[in-house]
Structure 1
């Protein structure tokens, strides 16, 4: 029964750490762009220079919105 006096505070500390890590991740914008990694496997990184320039321009225009 005395182990409960150790386990309950330990569980509260672990939950507190998990909540702190979650809020740190949100504040450091870890969850802002969840789709980019999924789309990155669909597109080639070795575009010709003129297409890469157009893609960068489109991305810059979309980032302003």
Structure 2
């Protein structure tokens, strides 16, 4: 039965770690630009072609 308490404690700590990482990512602007990454895949071929020359 004590293992249940240990696992619940670990899951709460893990959830707090993920919540902290989420708020840190929001504060530092990780999700500000949602458009450029979707377009960047279209531009990779042009960049690689320029590097091979």
Scaled by the length of structure 2, the TM-score of the pair is 0.74
C-alpha RMSD over aligned residues: 1.5
- Cα distance in 2 for residues equivalent to 1:6 and 1:42: 48
Equivalenced residue count is 46
Unpaired runs of 5+ in structure 1? 47-65
Runs of 4+ aligned structure 1 residues displaced above 3 Å come to 43-46
Query: Which protein is richer in helix relative to its size?
Result: 2
Scaled by the length of structure 1, the TM-score of the pair is 0.62
Which structure's CA Rg is the greater one? 1
- Determine if the alignment matches structure 1 residue 4 to structure 2 residue 10: no
Higher relative contact order (CA 8 A, sep 6+): 2
Unpaired runs of 5+ in structure 2? none
- Determine if the alignment matches structure 1 residue 26 to structure 2 residue 35: no
